[in-house]
């Protein structure tokens, strides 16, 4: 098969060679399974270096599980989770958060992917009413599903709103590295320091094979997490191979370098396609995704050569994602291909 790079998803990207090397490096001898091994201890230490010594962190296989498992300790089944209407937990997890927590998800219209305090305020009602679910968590996605990034102030305001009402702030950080880089912040400054209580930390989209983490900044919430993770079928027997990946991502600035590169490629793609009058960029390009409205007839023609998703069928909006392994040449070639098909 001829190797190609496309713009469908950062999940379609390859694995960063440093991650593969880290996996190979721990591939010797036997160690205890299920996380009681020195490589997992080293990765946990690394998370503590980044986020502070008083966190609890647990590794899982995928982002859906990180989200569901993050939400579970914060909620009872009569609670509700407020999220954007395009949130991954609401649109792309097949109802897993509802099934796993028993909670209702309350979606809020968010045309740029971001919740606001004002919009969340409208959904915060029925408190103390036995007929009504009780809002307990606000879940934000950073960077958002639409390639935008909350400012620190926006996150801080949502955290304050939540904490003043005995609620928690969850962050789906499948692309937290892209967001932190975009904001010029460390991972801690972009999460914990803004008032996030629980973070789904993404590794896979940033160069790992299948390695995510649940990070608790409020340790009390982590009390029963070992059992919840096992019940959630996310306890890896050969944990060292997940731990080694996350340890590598958090070492030598790999998380930052990968995210910086994919963000830069998205900016370049934006710049190139903005030269094409028939292409309209419909969201701010603040992370590694470009959302564009293109002539309907061009989509199928482009898709003959490049795989990508139509995001909004009705408006003819497509999503183009960049990854750590996207090259400038990929971007320029793709922009040329777009320019070629749109006028026809």
Ligand X SMILES: Cc1ncc(COP(=O)(O)O)c(C=O)c1O
Whether 7 contacts 306, CB under 8 Å: yes
Nearer to ligand X, 172 or 330 (CB): 172
Whether 204 contacts 11, CB under 8 Å: yes
Q: Taking CB under 6 A as the criterion, which residues in 136-195 touch ligand X?
A: 141, 145, 172, 174
Q: Taking CB under 6 A as the criterion, which residues in 75-94 touch ligand X?
A: 88
16-41 core/surface letters (b: 16 or more CB in 10 A; e: else)? bebbbebbeebeeeeeeeebebebbe
Residue nearest to ligand X (CB): 63
Whether 112 contacts 144, CB under 8 Å: yes
| Interior angle at CA 175, CA 173 and CA 178, nearest 5 | 125
Cβ 64 to ligand X, closest distance in Å?
Answer: 3
Please report whether residue 206 would count as binding ligand X according to CB under 6 A. no
Cβ 98 to ligand X, closest distance in Å?
Answer: 15
Whether 335 contacts 327, CB under 8 Å: no
> Which stretch in 59-67, 101-109, 213-221, 264-272 sits in contact with ligand X by CB under 6 A?
59-67
Site size for ligand X (CB under 6 A): 10
Please report whether residue 62 would count as binding ligand X according to CB under 6 A. yes
Nearer to ligand X, 75 or 141 (CB): 141
Nearer to ligand X, 137 or 342 (CB): 137
Please report whether residue 64 would count as binding ligand X according to CB under 6 A. yes
Whether 202 contacts 174, CB under 8 Å: yes
205: left (phi over 0), alpha (psi -120 to 50) or beta: alpha
Among 63, 86, 97, 135, binds ligand X (CB under 6 A): 63
> Which stretch in 14-22, 57-65, 75-83, 256-264 sits in contact with ligand X by CB under 6 A?
57-65
Cβ 313 to ligand X, closest distance in Å?
Answer: 19
Q: Taking CB under 6 A as the criterion, which residues in 7-46 touch ligand X?
A: 11
- Cα distances from 121 to residues 157, 161, 162, 168, in angstroms, run 12, 9, 10, 14
Nearer to ligand X, 199 or 335 (CB): 199
298-308 core/surface letters (b: 16 or more CB in 10 A; e: else)? beebbbeebeb
Q: Taking CB under 6 A as the criterion, which residues in 249-288 touch ligand X?
A: none
Cβ 71 to ligand X, closest distance in Å?
Answer: 12
Whether 125 contacts 132, CB under 8 Å: yes
Cβ 131 to ligand X, closest distance in Å?
Answer: 32
Whether 170 contacts 138, CB under 8 Å: yes
Nearer to ligand X, 276 or 290 (CB): 290
- Cα distances from 293 to residues 56, 127, 274, 296, 312, in angstroms, run 42, 41, 11, 9, 9
> Which stretch in 62-70, 157-165, 187-195, 304-312 sits in contact with ligand X by CB under 6 A?
62-70
> Which stretch in 56-64, 162-170, 251-259, 322-330 sits in contact with ligand X by CB under 6 A?
56-64
Q: Report the distance separating Cα 126 and Cα 135, nearest Å.
A: 9
Cβ 63 to ligand X, closest distance in Å?
Answer: 2
Give me the torsion for CA of 292, 262, 214, 102, rounded to 10°: 10
In the complex, the residues that contact ligand X under the rule CB under 6 A are: 11, 62-64, 88, 141, 145, 172, 174, 204
């Amino acid at each position: 098969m001829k190797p190609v790079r496309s713009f469908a998803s950062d999940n379609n990207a390859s694995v960063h060679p440093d991650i593969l090397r880290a996996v190979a490096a721990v591939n010797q001898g036997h160690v205890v399974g299920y996380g009681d091994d020195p490589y997992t201890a080293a990765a946990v230490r690394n998370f503590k270096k980044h986020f502070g010594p008083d966190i609890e962190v647990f590794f899982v296989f995928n982002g859906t599980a990180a989200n569901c498992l993050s939400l579970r300790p914060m909620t009872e089944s009569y609670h509700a989770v407020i999220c954007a209407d395009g949130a991954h937990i609401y649109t792309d997890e097949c109802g897993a958060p509802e099934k796993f927590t028993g909670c209702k998800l309350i979606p809020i219209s968010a045309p740029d992917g971001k919740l606001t305090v004002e919009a969340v305020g409208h959904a915060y009602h029925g408190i103390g009413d036995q007929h009504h679910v009780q809002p307990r968590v606000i879940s934000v996605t950073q960077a958002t599903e639409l390639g935008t990034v909350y400012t620190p102030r926006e996150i801080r305001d949502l955290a304050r709103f939540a904490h003043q009402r005995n609620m928690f702030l969850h962050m789906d950080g499948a692309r937290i590295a892209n967001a932190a880089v975009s904001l010029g912040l460390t991972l801690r400054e972009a999460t914990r320091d803004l008032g996030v209580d629980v973070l789904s930390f993404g590794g896979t989209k940033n160069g790992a094979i299948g390695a995510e983490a649940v990070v608790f900044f409020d340790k009390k919430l982590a009390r029963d997490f070992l059992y919840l993770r096992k019940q959630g079928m996310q306890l890896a027997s050969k944990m060292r191979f997940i731990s080694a990946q996350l340890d590598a991502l958090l070492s030598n600035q790999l998380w930052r370098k990968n995210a910086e590169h994919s963000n830069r490629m998205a900016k370049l793609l934006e710049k190139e396609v903005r030269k094409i009058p028939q292409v309209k960029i419909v969201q701010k390009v603040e992370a590694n995704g470009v959302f564009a409205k293109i002539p309907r007839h061009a989509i199928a023609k482009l898709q003959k050569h490049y795989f990508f998703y139509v995001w909004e069928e009705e408006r003819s909006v497509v999503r183009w994602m960049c990854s750590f392994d996207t090259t400038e040449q990929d971007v320029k070639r793709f922009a040329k291909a777009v320019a070629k098909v749109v006028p026809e």
